[in-house]
Chains A and B, each alone.
Chain A
Amino acid sequence: MRVGLFIPCYIDQFYPQVGLATVEVLERHGVEIDFPTAQTCCGQPLANTGCLEEARSLAQNFVQIFEKYEYVVCPSGSCTSMVRHHYDQFFPDDPKFHEFTHRVFELCEFLIDVLKVDRIAGRFPYRVGLHQSCHGLRELRLGKSSELVGEPFSKAHKLLGSLEGISLSQLTRPDECCGFGGTFAVAEEAVSCMMGRDRIFDHERAGTEVLTALDMSCLMHLDGLIRRDGKKMRVMHIAEILAGRAV
């Protein structure tokens, strides 16, 4: 199976290890990867700011680069949801585009839904706190959000829970937003940092040793606070945990 690897711009530039971990996890499960170097960014920061014309050209580039792949996989809920849910305004009444969106996946949902993986081999004897990144949760529905009434489930929890020795933190607010929100992190810096610190405090109270999420953007923000406040909590993207990276 040949998959187009979509690596978010900030992972490409600041967290290359997350990209490499993603490659390893996929290859370990028999996936052949192609990383089209023409890719840059899905355009989410531009669309979220309201600069739709600027985002349009990036969206068109993206689809042109990736539409030939059987699947497109991305270690980010928010970038994946940008393509699947917010690109349609740039491709109105385009059945080819609509079909393409069904082939674009976030990493955890690709493992579970397409590769039918339900266990990850490996040992991770730590107390792990999963931060439920909002786009992955409420846009891609990778888990049941706490607001909804229904059967609880979480694809990320399922994969993490299968690792030997791992224990998962119980939070008082299981899926409150970390406060990153893109440009929000800077435009509303005060609220953003208060939100982030509140999340970290919840994890501390739950005994989290390793904080993880499926969106590096959330973790970049939380890690920034953790390091500034001199705390010991380690931060790892879920791909790094699944790839068996050391803490």
Chain B
Amino acid sequence: MPTDHALRAAEFVADSERAHWHDQALWFVRVKRDRMAQSLPEWETLRDTAGAIKAHTMSRLGDYLEEFEQQATALGAKIHWARDAAEHNAIVLSILQSHSVKKVVKSKSMLTEECHLNPFLERHGIEVVDTDLGEWIVQLAGEPPSHIVLPAIHKKKEDVGEIFHRFLGTDKGASDPIYLTEAARHHLRQKFMQGDAGITGVNFAIAETGGFVVCTNEGNADLGVSLPKLHIACMGIEKLIPRARDLGVFLRLLARSATGQPITTYSSHFHGPVAGGELHIVLVDNGRSEILKSDEFRRSLNCIRCGACMNTCPVYRRSGGHSYGTTVPGPIGSILAPARDAKLFAGLPHACSLCGSCTDVCPVKIDLHHQLLTWRGEIGRRGLLPLSKTLPMKLMAFVFRRPWLYSFAGRVGRRIMSLTPKWLLYNRFNSWGRQRELPPVPPQSFRELYARRQHQQN
């Protein structure tokens, strides 16, 4: 029984030209990352340092959360605590309603995606415009983002041209990125001007100072919160770092890992509300404290949402973010999703060839491919593996525990394979044989040949 990912991936791959185009586009981002990393001899030290800072922070997360709350409150910000997505959404709605907000401009926040904030606010009559260009494109298209940093990476410029023609009235058939971006600039400027409130995510929250940092290339977060008087910043509790100077490490790693730039155009440090304005910070748990308890999976909370693991993953590049069916796709997503719902996402850790490339690019040293393997064992332990997977394995274990049976089965199996006509061998149940030849069948196994060789030598 193929997993959802396997089915969707097969569909994605079937459009070979588009699949190769998607693969190339993301590989190019990986190449840019490599170039940036190679330009800093201290790159591996930076990664180790970042991983260690996160590990330390997680070991004292309660203390750092309290310190952050204290410092931020002293600066005039209002802190809210949300145990889960529903609470987060209710808190944000309540703040907006108390200010009679009708129009919200939002910069990229994977947390708000995770909580499905947009549809919730829209159900309550509030317009939400995602101002990150990639997010806006998928918002207009009615799709979720397919990548956490490059939300519309799966869209060709012709696709964007179509969407803009339909919703913005750009010329039919126009696909020049400069023309389309200019159109977006004009439209979104109006949205910025009309926004009653701005919602942002948080890249890093600083416990020591009570401030937080938001990184963008477009400047949309800053525009969005510097015009209206109300700024709501939503963050997962794992986004905390101890001190301002720790940012030196993270800001050197983030953009280089994400897009192969030395730094994002804007790295904005917010300390307290603007004069005469209000700043609300919503701290969200939504399963993070559970992951924190696990020795095997705690390190996945190091994640700074750079997307490097997706860019390098040979499976992600050839199946696309939508094939994962999760808010955060790719290697890190396949670790976080089962933590949320192991039954629903039992297939995701198997959407992986265990190549380990993700682990080697992760700027905060998450052992991604090892955690994916550990999840497979955990899913097995919880009895969530389908029979189609467990039965062959039980049979294999039975045979392999008995050397004489293993040898016998091997001999018989090879004999059958060599005698079976091709048309029967390559039947529709033979998934291996769909696009590949089976290995040639030798008349004797190594152990038989070796035994004969040793006998002859003696």
* CA A45 to CA B10, docked complex, whole Å: 23
Q: Mark A160-183, 1 if CB is under 8 A from B, else 0.
A: 000000000000010111011111
Contact of A149 among B41, B318, B373 (CB under 8 A): B41
**Are A12 and B357 in contact, CB atoms less than 8 angstroms apart?**
no
Contacts of A10 in B (CB 8 A): 439
- Please, which residue of chain B has its CB at the minimum distance from the CB of A224? B436
Contact of B354 among A55, A134, A223 (CB under 8 A): A134
**Are B377 and A189 in contact, CB atoms less than 8 angstroms apart?**
no
- Please, which residue of chain B has its CB at the minimum distance from the CB of A46? B393
Contact of A16 among B397, B406, B446 (CB under 8 A): B446
**Are B397 and A54 in contact, CB atoms less than 8 angstroms apart?**
yes
**Are B314 and A176 in contact, CB atoms less than 8 angstroms apart?**
yes
- Please, which residue of chain A has its CB at the minimum distance from the CB of B6? A188
Contacts of A17 in B (CB 8 A): 442
Contact of A58 among B23, B359, B389, B401 (CB under 8 A): B401
Contacts of A50 in B (CB 8 A): 376-381, 385, 389
* Known contacts A20-B453, A146-B34, A191-B315; A134/B436 CB under 8 A: no
Residues 137-172 (chain A) with a chain B CB within 8 angstroms? 137-139, 145-150
A23 contacts the other chain (Cβ, under 8 Å)? yes
* Known contacts A49-B376, A181-B353; A13/B410 CB under 8 A: yes
Chain A residues within 8 Å of B, Cβ to Cβ: 7, 9-20, 23, 35, 37-41, 43, 45-52, 54-55, 57-58, 61, 86, 89, 134-135, 137-139, 145-150, 173, 175-177, 179-196, 198, 220-221, 223-225, 227-228
- Please, which residue of chain B has its CB at the minimum distance from the CB of A39? B403
Interface centre among B378, B397, B440 (most CB of A within 10 A): B397
Tally of contact residues, B, Cβ under 8 A: 78
**Are A38 and B403 in contact, CB atoms less than 8 angstroms apart?**
yes
**Are B353 and A177 in contact, CB atoms less than 8 angstroms apart?**
yes
Chain A to chain B contacts (Cβ below 8 Å), 21 pairs: A14-B440, A15-B442, A20-B446, A43-B400, A47-B377, A49-B390, A50-B378, A50-B385, A51-B385, A52-B377, A58-B401, A145-B356, A146-B34, A148-B44, A176-B357, A188-B351, A188-B353, A191-B315, A194-B13, A224-B432, A224-B436
Shortest CB-to-CB span from A26 to chain B, Å, is: 12
* CA A20 to CA B23, docked complex, whole Å: 39
Shortest CB-to-CB span from A142 to chain B, Å, is: 13
**Are A86 and B373 in contact, CB atoms less than 8 angstroms apart?**
yes
**Are A177 and B436 in contact, CB atoms less than 8 angstroms apart?**
no
B268 contacts the other chain (Cβ, under 8 Å)? no
Contacts of A39 in B (CB 8 A): 403
- Please, which residue of chain A has its CB at the minimum distance from the CB of B312? A147
**Are A139 and B352 in contact, CB atoms less than 8 angstroms apart?**
no
- Please, which residue of chain A has its CB at the minimum distance from the CB of B437? A227
**Are A45 and B318 in contact, CB atoms less than 8 angstroms apart?**
no
**Are B431 and A16 in contact, CB atoms less than 8 angstroms apart?**
no
**Are A225 and B13 in contact, CB atoms less than 8 angstroms apart?**
no
- Please, which residue of chain A has its CB at the minimum distance from the CB of B426? A228
Contacts of A43 in B (CB 8 A): 397, 400
B414 contacts the other chain (Cβ, under 8 Å)? yes
